[in-house]
């Protein structure tokens, strides 16, 4: 399978529009150690010709322009993009659908809960239902991803729940500490080809559980939530009032963090994705970047290409 | 007043994601005669410090990155963007709101009908109502655009109806040829400073009427709908089945076209904006570009800066 990282940043991208954190200033100043990043999304393909998006970021139009694999060919109106798989209804994961106008055939896969949210927001009707099928995925059920005309794209996804929280814009403060979140609100994807696990895509995860650790043990490749380096860095740096835990993200560092939690698992490649503007691993040469790299992790970047 | 053209292309941008028209191929090939264009939007300011968007395109994050006037300064979380004025609910005019997350104060102005559409689409709740006020504009009533804390930004807009049609994703086929469109669905903006007309922003217009001609007569500057060069060019070029009239856009050329319709009016500067991938005026040196330029028109481009 071929994988291209279309975007490696968390919601808002790097730099975020209203963020004047030193990290963001370095990106705007075109510092080569701090390249700009669009919002997190993968393009996945078994044949290198027909591609599936994992999440549709608000930066999708720019991501398509920047990645020739997604340029149209073979017709006056055409696209190699054949399917989109959504892991939740976050603005940074669904807004790109609005850039996939109008009469191009592809499938949109999401849990029933996320499909309901899309149905309740009529703006997504810009996706012409004559061309775009919306297909519900069920947790723990393997799904063969296909083109709109039913041709198999050669791989299966198994959606599974991970600890997390409902999308910010769907939070219900009346429902207590978890804002009305249910299991389907934050899912990850196990990706299989010919029945064999190829990789995991886990762009949001609030904590490691024994079940999740057991599941990803032995995997050839894991993309994992790299939002924050430390739980309170947004508060500490004065750019926000929310901790990682409040936002549904475990941190990279610390005794309960991702590097520690995955250190005893046998995983061939471990790659951080969905990285927030405040996270020092964004920037080449920082002690934090060096720490994660010396722990066997990679930091994804826009345009990163992998084969598994 | 200062004006920067953030985006000069019609919905979908140039190139559009699934468009393989020769024009789009030239843009992707980085042909210097055919620079890429993002979706139509203006940034407007009286003081060069505080800016108002006229429409929020899906490319807004890229547009902010590309235009230093919109970079944050003066605080860790800050933005020179103080207000957004919407002319309709088209996906290419409202989607950018979703990139203006989360806790940044600004005002969103739109007609009551467009505000209702935003209210009915809960995804726009990503704009935190504690910070972002949604203010209804009334047709033909002058409105002083202000910051969220009520400071005047130094100019007024007078929204007025122009011939057009409701946004594609809101079309109601049961309601006949105009798909349920009403006057508020397509508006233009008359922009005044100290009571004097500075310019008109008319990114969509289905036909010239005597009232519209009389209104813009004598203006210092008009931005006008440049979607299509000829009404049937999308059909003729094999990239679509809709005419300009079906989409609510008059064409640039022809006896009923914009160049002819405005030729007898005294307008100091006339600039095409909202230009579709199929329009030959996108490309420097084409006979069509030469024809509009020799008729006294300019073709806007991303990053174009004006002072009026």
Contact B94 A123 (CB under 8 A): yes
A210 within some domain: yes
What is chain B's alpha carbon radius of gyration, rounded to the nearest angstrom?
18
Q: What is the DSSP letter of B168?
A: G
Instruction: Give the ranges where A67-218 is alpha helix by DSSP (H).
Output: 91-94, 112-120, 210-216
Spatial separation of the C-alpha atoms in residues A159 and B193, rounded to whole Å? 56
Q: Is residue A308 part of a domain?
A: no
Residues of B whose CB is below 8 A from A18 = 72, 77-79, 100, 104
pLDDT of residue A174: 79
A19 vs B contacts (CB less than 8 Å) = 72, 76-77
Q: Which residue has the higher pLDDT, A49 or A163?
A: A49
Residue A171 forms part of a structural domain: yes
Backbone CA torsion sign across A243, A247, A252, A257: positive
At A36-66, the pLDDT tens digits run 999 999 999 999 999 999 999 999 999 999 9
Q: What pLDDT score was predicted for residue A45?
A: 98
| Alpha carbon distance A181, B190 (integer Å) | 46
State whether residue B199 is helix, strand or coil. strand
> What is the per-residue pLDDT across B110-132, written as a single tens digit (0 to 9) for each?
999 999 999 999 999 999 999 99
Q: Which residues of A128-141 are buried (b: 16+ CB within 10 A; e: fewer)?
A: eeeebbbeebeeee
Q: Angle A84-A88-A94 (CA atoms, 0-180°, nearest 5)?
A: 55
Give the chain B residue whose CA is nearest to the CA of A15: B65
Q: Which residues of A touch B17 (CB under 8 A)?
A: 60-61, 64, 70, 72, 79, 81, 99-100
Q: Are B34 and B282 in contact (CB under 8 A)?
A: yes
Could you tell me the end-to-end alpha-carbon distance of chain B, in angstroms, rounded to an integer? 5
Tell me the C-alpha to C-alpha distance, in Å, between residue B240 and each of A103, B227, B235, B237: 9, 14, 5, 8
Integer Cα distance of B126 and B103 in angstroms: 9
Strands A196-202 and A221-225: parallel
**Who contacts A79 (Cβ-Cβ below 8 Å, separation ≥6)?**
A70, A72, A104, A106, B17, B18
pLDDT in tens, A232-244: 898 888 888 888 8
A216 lies in some domain: yes
Q: Which domain holds residue B188?
A: 2-307
Whether A198 is in a domain gets the answer yes
Residues 6+ apart with CB under 8 A from B155: B1, B44, B46, B52, B144, B145, B191, B192, B193, B198
Query: Is A197 part of any domain?
Result: yes
**Does A205 fall in a domain?**
yes
Q: How many CB atoms lie within 10 A of CB B192?
A: 18
- How many domains does chain B fold into? 1
Which one, of A3, A23, A7, lies nearest residue A15 by Cα? A23
CA distances, A299 to each of A105, A198, A206, A272, A292 (Å): 33, 19, 19, 5, 8
Q: Are B211 and B202 in contact (CB under 8 A)?
A: no
Judging contacts by C-beta atoms under 8 Å, the chain A residues touching residue B123 are 91, 94-95, 117, 121, 123, 169
> Do A192 and A156 meet the contact criterion of CB atoms below 8 Å apart?
yes
Percent of chain A with pLDDT over 70: 97
Which value does ipTM take for this structure?
0.94
Digit-coded pLDDT (tens) for A281-301? 999 999 999 999 999 999 999
Contacts of B239 in chain A (CB under 8 A): 76-77
Instruction: For an interface test with B, give the residue of A64, A123, A167 to mutate (most B CBs within 10 A).
Output: A123
pLDDT band at residue B194 using 50, 70 and 90 as cut-offs: very high
Contact B240 A73 (CB under 8 A): no
Report whether B271 contacts B298 (CB < 8 A).
yes
* Helix, strand, or coil (residue B249): coil
Residue A59's φ and ψ, nearest 5 degrees, are -90, 15
Q: What SS3 state is found at A147?
A: coil
Q: Are A106 and A148 in contact (CB under 8 A)?
A: yes
Q: What do you get for the CA distance between the two ends of chain A, in Å? A: 5
- Residue A206 located in a structural domain: yes
B-chain residues near A24 (CB < 8 A): 72
Q: Of the candidates B139, B142, B91, B86, which has an alpha carbon nearest to the alpha carbon of residue B115?
A: B86
Three-state DSSP state, A213:
helix
Question: Closest approach of chain A CAs to the CA of B43, in angstroms?
Answer: 15
Tokens representing residue A275 in the block: 């990285």
Flag if A123 and B123 touch (Cβ within 8 Å). yes
CB contact under 8 A, A65 and B28: yes
The two three-digit tokens of residue A199, written as one number: 């990789």
CA distance B169 to B22: 27
* A247, pLDDT greater than 90: no
Q: How far is B216 from chain A (nearest CA, A)?
A: 33
Q: List, as one string, the DSSP characters of B86-154.
A: -S---HHHHGGGGGS-SS--EEEEEEHHHHHHHHHSGGGGGS-TTTEEEEEE-TT--EEEE-TT--EEE
Q: Is residue A196 within 8 Å of residue A215, measured between CB atoms?
A: no
pLDDT tens, A121-150? 999 999 999 999 999 999 999 999 999 999
pLDDT tens per residue, range B1-33: 999 999 999 999 999 999 999 999 999 999 999
Q: Above 80 in pLDDT, residue B263?
A: yes
Q: Could you check whether the bond before residue A53 is cis, i.e. omega within 30 degrees of 0?
A: no
Minimal C-alpha gap between A77 and chain B (Å): 5
d(C-alpha B228, C-alpha B206), whole Å:
11
Angstrom distances, CA of residue A308 to CA of A36, A193, A217, A305: 26, 10, 17, 10
Per the structure block, which two tokens stand in for B188? 């233009």
Question: The domain spanning residue A139 has which CATH number?
Answer: 3.60.15.10
Q: What is the pLDDT of residues B166-186, one digit of tens each?
A: 666 677 777 777 767 666 778
* Residue B41 near residue B56 (C-beta atoms within 8 A): yes
């Amino acid at each position: 399978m071929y994988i291209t990282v279309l975007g490696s940043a968390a919601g808002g991208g790097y730099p975020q529009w209203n963020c004047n954190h030193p990290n963001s200033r370095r990106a705007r100043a075109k510092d080569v150690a701090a390249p700009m990043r669009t919002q997190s999304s993968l393009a996945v393909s078994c044949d290198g010709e027909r591609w599936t998006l994992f999440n549709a970021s608000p930066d999708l139009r720019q991501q398509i322009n920047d990645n020739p694999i997604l340029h149209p060919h073979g017709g006056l109106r055409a696209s190699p993009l054949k399917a989109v798989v959504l892991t939740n209804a976050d603005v940074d994961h669904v807004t790109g659908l609005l850039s996939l106008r109008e009469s191009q055939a592809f499938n949109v896969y999401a849990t029933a809960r996320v499909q309901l949210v899309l149905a309740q927001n009529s703006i997504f009707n810009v996706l012409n239902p004559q061309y775009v099928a919306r297909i519900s995925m069920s947790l723990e059920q393997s799904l063969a991803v296909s083109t709109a005309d039913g041709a198999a794209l050669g791989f299966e996804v198994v959606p599974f729940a991970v600890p997390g929280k409902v999308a910010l814009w769907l939070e219900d403060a009346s429902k207590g500490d978890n804002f009305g979140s249910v299991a389907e609100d934050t899912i990850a994807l196990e990706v299989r080809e010919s029945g064999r696990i190829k990789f995991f895509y886990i762009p949001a995860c609030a904590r490691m559980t024994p079940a999740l650790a057991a599941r990803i043990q032995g995997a050839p490749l894991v993309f994992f939530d790299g939002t924050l380096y430390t739980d309170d860095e947004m508060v500490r740096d004065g750019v926000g009032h929310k901790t990682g835990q409040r936002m549904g993200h475990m941190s990279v560092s610390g005794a309960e963090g991702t590097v520690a939690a995955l250190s005893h698992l046998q995983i061939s490649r471990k790659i951080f994705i969905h990285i927030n503007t405040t996270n020092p691993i964004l920037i080449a040469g920082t002690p934090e970047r060096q720490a994660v790299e010396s722990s066997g992790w990679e930091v994804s970047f826009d345009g990163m290409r992998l084969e598994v």
